[in-house]
Structure 1
Amino acid sequence: MRREKSTAGGGLRRSARRALLRPLRHLLSAVAAIGLVLGALIALPGVSQAAGSLPCDIYGAAGTPCVAAHSTTRALLSSYNGPLYQVTRASDGARADIGLLSAGGYANAAQQDTFCQNTTCRITKVYDQTSRHNDLTPGPAGTSGMGADRGADASEIAVTAGGHKVYGIWISPGVGYRYTGVASGVAVDGQPEGAYMVASGTHVGSDCCFDYGNAESTPADTGNGHMDAVSIATTCYFAPCTGSGPWIEADMENGMFQGDNGSNTANRGNNSPFVTAVLKNDGQTKYALKGGNSQSGALSTWWDGGLPTRAGYRPMHQEGGIILGTGGDNSNWNRGTFFEGVMVAGYPTDAAENAVQSNVVSVGYSGETDVPNGPQGTVTGPDGKCVDVAADDTGTNGTAVQLWDCQNWAEDQHWQHNADGSLSTIGRCLDIEGNGTANGAKVELWDCNGVGGQKWVQQADGSLLNPQSGRCLDSPSGATANGTRLQIWDCNGSAAQKFKLS
C-alpha cells in the first residue's frame, strides 16, 4: 500500500546512515573569489555558458577543486566535453552515452530521444566530469534491508536549462546511485569538504534518504560521523522544526541535522521548484548549511557554526563513498529530483558558494519538477482512481496492480502505451497472471515479454481490451476502494470497466 514510512526508530538511524607565503596565497585566493562573485552577479540567463564561469571553475579558482561533478543537464566545468550519463534501452539492452551540444554546454536531449524512441530507457551511469572518474551506477543492496537499486527512468522528468530541453534524474523508492569504495580525492577521516546540488523542492518526502555526497565505502551504517551528505527532505528528525519543510539538511549518519546539534528553528526551509542545497564541513569543529532558489536570488545561510556535540561527529569519520538518492546503508525509500551537483576538497569560501549560486541562476532552469512529464500518462478507472502498482514504486515481477488515489509524484501510476500495445511502468508491463484468459484472472506487473496477456487496446466505450482473451480490464464488482486488485472480465460496458488513458 502507498503510504509514508515512519522516520522514527530504525529508518533513519539505519541509514540515516611555507608559512610566510601562506597569508599571501590566502589574500590572492580571496581576491580571486571576489572577482568571481562580481563576474557571476552580472550574468544573465541565456543559452550559452561563459568559459571559466562554471561551478567547478569557480571552486577551483578559490582553492577548493571539484573531486566529483555529476549532472544530466549540463557541463559543470567549462573544458568538459565528454558524456554526462549513460542510458540502457529496455528493448534490446543496448547502451548509449548522452553528451553535450558543445564543450562546456548543455545536454543533448535529442540524442536520448532518438535512441529511446518506441521503448523505455534507464539511466545506468552518471559520469563524473572531473578527471577522477568517480562515476555513479545503481547501488548494491545494503544493510537497510532494501534490495539493489535500479536506474531511474531516463525520460521521467524533462525541464529547460539554458533554453534547451534536458532531463533530470527522477528518484523514486528503489532508485539510487553509488560509488562503492573510496572515491578518488573525496574526504576521509575528518578532512574538510563541500558539496552542493540542484534538486526539486516540490518532489520531496520524509522517508530516508534523498542524499548527495559522502557516505560509507560499503552500503552499511558504520556509525555517527561516517557520512557527510547534503539532503533536501521533509524530515524533522530532531524536533522542533519550523514549518513543514522541505529543509536543507546534513546527513552525517544517524541523524538529519538542520544545524547546531540537530534541531535548528532558524532553518525555514526551501520549497521552490528548483533548490540549490549547500553543505560544507571542516571535518573537525564546524559545518554550514545554505539553501536558495535556483531560479533567482541569493543563498540563505541556515547554519554556520559548530558540529554536533553528540558522540562521533568531532572529528568526522568520513569514508569517501558517494551516494545519490539513497542513504549510506542504501535506505532508498525517499523521493526527489536531481539535476546537478559537485563535491569539493577543502572548506569552500562563502564568496565561491555565492558565485556558484549566481551561475546556477544564470542557467535559467524552468519547468515543473514534481510531475513525471515524459511519454507516460495516468490510467484512471472507476471513481477517478488511478491504476497503481502495489509496493510503492518498487514493484517486481508478480506485484499486484490495483486502484489507488492518484498522486502526481507516484512513478508507478504513470504508464507508457508502447507501440506493441503494452502498458509499462517502472520498467515492467501490465500483465495477466499466467498469461491467462479466463474471467477473474488477476492483473500484475511483469517483465515486458511481448505475450498476448500484455496487449491492451483502448475501446471507443472507454474500456481497455485485452485482444488475446477478448476480455476487458475490470474492477471486481465495481469496487473503488484503495487497494482493489484489478482483473479481466467479459466486456460489458459498465462503470467498472471504464479506464481512461491520459
Structure 2
Amino acid sequence: MSSIPIRRRPPRPVAASLTAAAATVLALGTPTATGTASAASLPCDIYASGGTPCVAAHSTTRALYASYNGSLYQVRRSSDNTTRDIGVLSAGGVADAAAQDSFCAGTSCVITIIYDQSGRGNNLTQAPGGGAAGGPDNLANATAAPTTVGGHKAYGVYVAAGTGYRNDRTNGIATGDQAEGEYAIFDGTHYNGGCCFDYGNAETSNNDTGNGHMEAIYFGNIKVWGYGTGNGPWIMADLENGLFSGVNQHYNANDPTINYRYTTAVVKGEPNHWAIRGGNAQSGSLSTFYNGARPNVAGYNPMHKEGAIILGIGGDNSKGSAGTFYEGVMTSGYPTDATEDAVQASITAAGYGSGGGGGGGSFPSGYHQLIAGNDGLCLDVYGNTSSAGAAIDQWSCNGQSNQQFQFVPGSNGFGELQAQNSGQVIAVANGSTAQGSPDIVQQARNGAASSMWKPVAQSDGSWSLQNQNSGLCLDVYGAGSNQGQQLDQWPCKNAAGSNQDFTPN
C-alpha cells in the first residue's frame, strides 16, 4: 500500500539524368556497420543527377551526399556553454550520436546550428523575432527526439511551441517565380494545430510581406486555411497568408491524413504549377496529393519568393507549432516525379527506426513491474485503487497487482500501459502537453494520444516511454528517490540508468 503521494517539487538535476537517377537507387544497399551505404548515392546525389541539385541540405541524423564527411549540427551544453560539432561516423554515413552523448553527459544540450551540407553555407541557426512573435526563438533540446538510422542511434530536431531556426541571408535559394523542390522527413505522430510547423522558403525580413512570398512544406492539422481528409495531420504548402492543400484555400479530398512514424513530405513549385507528394519514409513509394495550377488568388501567380529558409516556424515567426524534423533539402529547379521517386527509394533504404536503442522495439509481453533506473523503486497505482484519476507514483517493489503493467500495442509503435489491478491505463491527466507537472494518472482505456506511449529500448535492457500526445517522456519527478514520489513528463533524455528509464521485471 502506498502512502499519500509526495507533491514536493525538488529542483530538476542538470542533467542524374532520370535514368541515371533511378540506376543509382538500384545500387543502394542497407547501411553497413560503419554507417555508410554500400555503393551509395544519397538524396542530393540523386537530385544532382536529375538536373535539380540541392542548394540546401539539412539533417541531424545522416549525410545527404555519399561524399559528405563534415559536421551535421552543433550542440551547446548548459553546464559551461561550450559547443561541439557533431559529424558522421564516416563519409556518407550516419551521425556520431555517441559524441553528443559523451559531450552532454550529466547536463543538458540544445542544438545551436544545423549545417548545410550543400557547400553553400545555408546553415540554420536560432530564429530571431518577427512580425508575429518576438524572439529570439528557443533552441531544440538535443536529446528530445532519439531515433535510429540503419540500426545506429541518432537524434532529430524536436520542435516544441516557441522553437525555431532560420537563415535570412542565403545562397542559391529560389526567389521570385523561380522553380524549386523541397522534401523533409518528419515524425508523423508529433504535430499540432498551431501555426506553423514549416520547412522551406520564406521572407528575409521575418515579416509577412504578402501573398506568394513563401513556399514551404507545412505539416500539422490546423484547419484555418486549407485542409484535407480526416482529422490530419496533412502535408500542405505554406505560400504565405494561407496553407494550401490544393488550388485554393479550401478542402482537398485528395490530400489525405498522413501520419507514418517517419513521413516523407514533398512540396515543389515552378511558374503557375506546383505539387504536394508524400509517403512512408520507411517503405513504399510516394503518392501525389496535388499537381496543378497556382492558387487563383492575387499574389500567387507569379510567386514572389524571397529565399530565406525556416524550420519549425512561419515566415513571420509564428511559433505556436510542434513537430520533429530529421532531414530535408531544397533544390534549384523543379524535380521530376521520377527523380523524387528515386530519392524516396534512397530514403527507405536508409532504414529509419530499424533496430538499436532509441528506435522502439518489442516490449516484453505480459504483466511486469517497471523498475525506475534512478532508485530501484517500482511504478505503482497509488492506494491500490481502481478509481480513475488515481496518481501513478513509485513505491518499494512488492509484486502486488497495482505494480503490474502490461503493454497493449496500438499503431506506429505506440500502445497503452494497462494496470493489472484496475484494467485502466497510464495517462497524462487532461491531455496536458506541459512538462514538469506531476499529473500522471490511471484512466479508462479510450485510445487517446495522452494514454499512448512508445517504448524506446536502451542499451542496458531498460526502456524509456514517450507519450504520443506531448512527445515527452515518462519521468520520476525531479529524479526523486522517495517512496510516493509522483511521475511527470519531461523532454526525453534517452540516457539509460536515469529517472526516465524503466526495467520490466
Aligned to 1:77: 65
Alpha-carbon offset, residue 329 of structure 1: 1.0
- Taking a change above 3 Å as real, the CA distance of residues 376 and 216 of structure 1, as seen in their structure-2 partners, is farther
Alpha-carbon offset, residue 110 of structure 1: 0.4
SS at match of 1:128: coil
Aligned to 2:246: 259
The answer to whether residue 19 in structure 2 is matched with residue 34 in structure 1 is: yes
Aligned to 1:308: 295
The answer to whether residue 166 in structure 2 is matched with residue 178 in structure 1 is: yes
The answer to whether residue 318 in structure 2 is matched with residue 331 in structure 1 is: yes
Question: Which stretch has the larger CA shift, 48-57 or 266-275?
Answer: 48-57
C-alpha distance in structure 1 between counterparts of 2:141 and 2:105, whole Å? 13
Which of 158, 161, 181 is residue 194 of structure 1 equivalent to?
181
C-alpha distance in structure 1 between counterparts of 2:136 and 2:500, whole Å? 34
Residue 172 of structure 1 contacts residue 411 of structure 1 at CA under 8 Å; is this kept in 2? no
Opposite residue 458 of structure 1, the aligned amino acid is S
* Aligned residue-pair number: 393
Identity of aligned residues (%): 45
SS at match of 2:347: helix
Residue 200 of structure 2 contacts residue 309 of structure 2 at CA under 8 Å; is this kept in 1? yes
C-alpha distance in structure 1 between counterparts of 2:87 and 2:374, whole Å? 24
Alpha-carbon offset, residue 41 of structure 1: 4.5
Residue 202 of structure 1 contacts residue 369 of structure 1 at CA under 8 Å; is this kept in 2? no
- Taking a change above 3 Å as real, the CA distance of residues 413 and 239 of structure 1, as seen in their structure-2 partners, is closer
C-alpha distance in structure 2 between counterparts of 1:376 and 1:327, whole Å? 40
Residue 86 of structure 1 contacts residue 125 of structure 1 at CA under 8 Å; is this kept in 2? yes
Residue 379 of structure 1 contacts residue 413 of structure 1 at CA under 8 Å; is this kept in 2? no
Question: Which stretch has the larger CA shift, 34-43 or 325-334?
Answer: 34-43
The answer to whether residue 180 in structure 2 is matched with residue 221 in structure 1 is: no
Aligned to 1:156: 144
SS at match of 2:101: helix
The answer to whether residue 498 in structure 2 is matched with residue 458 in structure 1 is: no
The answer to whether residue 99 in structure 2 is matched with residue 108 in structure 1 is: no
Q: TM-score, normalised by structure 1?
A: 0.71
CA RMSD of aligned residues (A): 3.3
Alpha-carbon offset, residue 391 of structure 1: 10
Q: TM-score, normalised by structure 2?
A: 0.71
Residue 226 of structure 2 contacts residue 248 of structure 2 at CA under 8 Å; is this kept in 1? no
Aligned to 2:131: 143
Aligned to 2:258: 270
Alpha-carbon offset, residue 185 of structure 1: 0.3
C-alpha distance in structure 2 between counterparts of 1:233 and 1:42, whole Å? 35
Residue 28 of structure 2 contacts residue 39 of structure 2 at CA under 8 Å; is this kept in 1? no
Opposite residue 101 of structure 1, the aligned amino acid is L
Structure 1, unaligned runs of 5 or more: 1-28, 424-455, 465-472, 476-498
Which of 217, 230, 233 is residue 217 of structure 2 equivalent to?
230
The Cα offsets for residues 212-242 of structure 1, whole Å up to 9 and x where unpaired, read as: 0001102111111011001221123446631
C-alpha distance in structure 1 between counterparts of 2:248 and 2:374, whole Å? 43
C-alpha distance in structure 2 between counterparts of 1:457 and 1:355, whole Å? 50
Alpha-carbon offset, residue 121 of structure 1: 0.5
Alpha-carbon offset, residue 387 of structure 1: 8.9
Residue 379 of structure 1 contacts residue 414 of structure 1 at CA under 8 Å; is this kept in 2? no
SS at match of 2:189: coil
Question: Which stretch has the larger CA shift, 35-44 or 325-334?
Answer: 35-44
The Cα offsets for residues 64-113 of structure 1, whole Å up to 9 and x where unpaired, read as: 11110000010001121110000000111010000010011110000001
- Taking a change above 3 Å as real, the CA distance of residues 94 and 376 of structure 1, as seen in their structure-2 partners, is farther
C-alpha distance in structure 2 between counterparts of 1:369 and 1:200, whole Å? 12
Alpha-carbon offset, residue 43 of structure 1: 3.4
Which portions of structure 1, spanning 4 or more consecutive aligned residues, are displaced by more than 2 angstroms? 41-48, 145-148, 235-241, 367-370, 375-388, 390-393, 400-407, 409-417, 499-502
C-alpha distance in structure 2 between counterparts of 1:500 and 1:83, whole Å? 29
SS at match of 1:224: coil
C-alpha distance in structure 2 between counterparts of 1:250 and 1:330, whole Å? 16
Residue 68 of structure 2 contacts residue 92 of structure 2 at CA under 8 Å; is this kept in 1? yes
Residue 202 of structure 2 contacts residue 309 of structure 2 at CA under 8 Å; is this kept in 1? yes
Aligned to 1:384: 391
Opposite residue 341 of structure 2, the aligned amino acid is N
Aligned to 1:289: 276
Residue 225 of structure 1 contacts residue 313 of structure 1 at CA under 8 Å; is this kept in 2? yes
Residue 78 of structure 1 contacts residue 103 of structure 1 at CA under 8 Å; is this kept in 2? yes
- Taking a change above 3 Å as real, the CA distance of residues 157 and 414 of structure 1, as seen in their structure-2 partners, is same
